[in-house]
Amino acid sequence: MLPNETLSAIFHELPPSSLAAAARASVRFNAVAERILYSSIYIHDLLLPLRTLKWCAAMRTRPHLFESVKRLHIRWQHAPPDPASSSSSVAPPGPSTAAIGPEHSRYWIHACEQLALVLPLLTELESLDLFLGPANLAPYPAYDDIDPDADTEKIHAIERVVRGCSFPHLRACTLGADSAKGAQPYTRVLVDFLGALPALRHLRLSDLASHHHQYEYDYAPPHLQFAHTTLGAGGGGGPPNYYAARTARLDSLPSTALPLLTSFRGSADAAAALLPGRPVQFLALVGQDSDVTRENLPRLTQTSLPLRYLDLSAMSVRPVLLRNVSAWLPTVETLRVKLALRHTLHYSFSGIRILAGLSAVLAAFPHLTHLDLSPTGIDGVGRADAREEHAVCTEWARACPTLRRVVFPSGTEWVWVGAGGGVGAGAGGAGGAGGGVGVGEGGVEGGGGGEGGGEGDGDGDALATTMAMGGWMQVGAGQ
């Protein structure tokens, strides 16, 4: 009879369907397979959170598995995703409050309540991803005639689930829900939750918007108007009131909270509140480029370690923002950006050459090694033309001598090959003078070139010349 350790090693290699079959084969197999099956939970509910409710019921009958759950990812959607919508990294717009009838609201609210019962028991969680879709738009019965002096208070749907939870081993956390005019904002419950995550390294808050990019003030219910102005960094003025005191002020987090935070994705105001004094080196901003202001941008520089990776792919970025970023964040080594091409970068060029106007902006980044423009798309610049892309790379390299890796809107990737065949390194990697392929943040180029050689596509003579003399080489084909 095989020992449990051997069975566990074998079962870890099986897909979930085979694990489920093994769990039904015998009591002994069940004891081993169940722990592996329940260690990583991925649930996607469409229209109604029925899978989530079934999982909650199953967990309540299996208390011996509470400590086995390491990863919990739950995503709720009220409607099928739109194929033409933007990147899934941004919280999709939700249905209007009116679109969620009482019959649906009951399910969302009940599912939140059931999650709130199970989640605190999963004390060994290492990764938590909750996107509760329309749950935050569902009217909560207890709040219909709320007395501001009562013990019951309005809180965000996410907060109804995580309230009182403590996860000492949690390393990655993603929280969010659909947004709409008048939706319940986050409160101090979120701040208390984040303050109880000592091991957290990666944090994403998809719907904690910048205060000046919140829904139109005039359309918000009166008791939420001031609350909306205080989201994010906790700024905003006006007379204090009951609800304002309960809105999320991330800058009220103790300076000792989140001591290991390495990466953050969220609004500019939220980043400005969280980053100062913390070792964040990877930052991704969501919202609009106008959300990045002269008030919050300086605070992004106050991290305890230099900010090396900046992702602006979730907003359409104008060159003026890149100039402002270069002035305040000169330590950036990897820049991922979706350009707003309607603001023409160079009026005398068309197609890919329109990007030549970025030279002056890139010159202000003294440490930039990796530029990724793939989120921009090809509509504004046309499809890939190797000669034009090579010319643009050469022009950019003159303005920014540290640049070693470029990904164009077409998806075509170019790297700088040093004399002798070494491929230039991206941020966080090292390019070998004898032919190693550098590693960039966000991806690893496969394999390594042999001595005096590299990897890439191109004509034999041109490639040989590039390898011998140094220059830009295409290593990935685009659209």
pLDDT one-digit tens code per residue, 88-101: 444 444 444 445 55
Q: Are 70 and 39 in contact (CB under 8 A)?
A: yes
What are residue 413's DSSP bridge partners? 407, 476
Could you please report the per-residue DSSP string of 373-435?
Answer: -GGG-STTT-S--HHHHHHHHHHHHHH-TT--EEE-TTS-EEEEE-TTSPBPP-TT----TTS
pLDDT surpasses 70 at 479: no
What distance in Å separates the CA atoms of residue 228 and residue 244, rounded to the nearest whole number?
A: 8
pLDDT at 20: 78
What distance in Å separates the CA atoms of residue 356 and residue 373, rounded to the nearest whole number?
A: 13
Could you please report the per-residue DSSP string of 333-381?
Answer: -EEEEEE-TTS-S-TT--GGGGGGGGHHHHTT-TT--EEE-GGG-STTT
Average pLDDT over residues 222-228: 33
Average pLDDT over residues 198-217: 72
Average pLDDT over residues 384-412: 90
Q: Which of 22-36, 396-410, 465-479 has the lowest mean pLDDT?
A: 465-479
pLDDT at 469: 53
pLDDT surpasses 50 at 307: yes
pLDDT at 210: 56
Average pLDDT over residues 363-378: 90
**What is the tens place of the pLDDT at every residue in 137-183?**
876 654 444 444 434 468 899 999 999 999 999 999 999 998 877 77
pLDDT at 211: 52
Which of 296, 277, 280, 299 has the alpha carbon at shortest distance from 288?
Answer: 296
**Is pLDDT larger for residue 218 or for residue 304?**
304
**What is the tens place of the pLDDT at every residue in 260-293?**
999 999 999 999 999 999 999 999 999 998 999 9
pLDDT surpasses 90 at 130: yes
pTM equals 0.77
What distance in Å separates the CA atoms of residue 402 and residue 425, rounded to the nearest whole number?
A: 10
Q: Are 435 and 421 in contact (CB under 8 A)?
A: yes
Which of 248, 287, 247 has the alpha carbon at shortest distance from 268?
Answer: 287
pLDDT surpasses 50 at 396: yes
Tokens 């939700």 belong to 94
pLDDT surpasses 70 at 350: no
Instruction: Please name the helix (run of DSSP H) or strand (run of DSSP E) that holds residue 205, with its range, or none.
Output: strand 202-205
What distance in Å separates the CA atoms of residue 358 and residue 99, rounded to the nearest whole number?
A: 44
**What is the tens place of the pLDDT at every residue in 413-468?**
999 987 655 555 443 433 333 333 333 333 333 333 333 334 444 455 554 554 44
pLDDT surpasses 90 at 105: no
> Rg of the chain's alpha carbons, rounded to an integer?
25
Instruction: Please name the helix (run of DSSP H) or strand (run of DSSP E) that holds residue 314, with its range, or none.
Output: strand 309-317
**Summary mean pLDDT of the chain:** 76
**What is the tens place of the pLDDT at every residue in 55-90?**
999 999 999 999 999 999 999 997 665 554 444 444
pLDDT at 377: 72
Q: Are 199 and 258 in contact (CB under 8 A)?
A: no
pLDDT surpasses 70 at 246: no
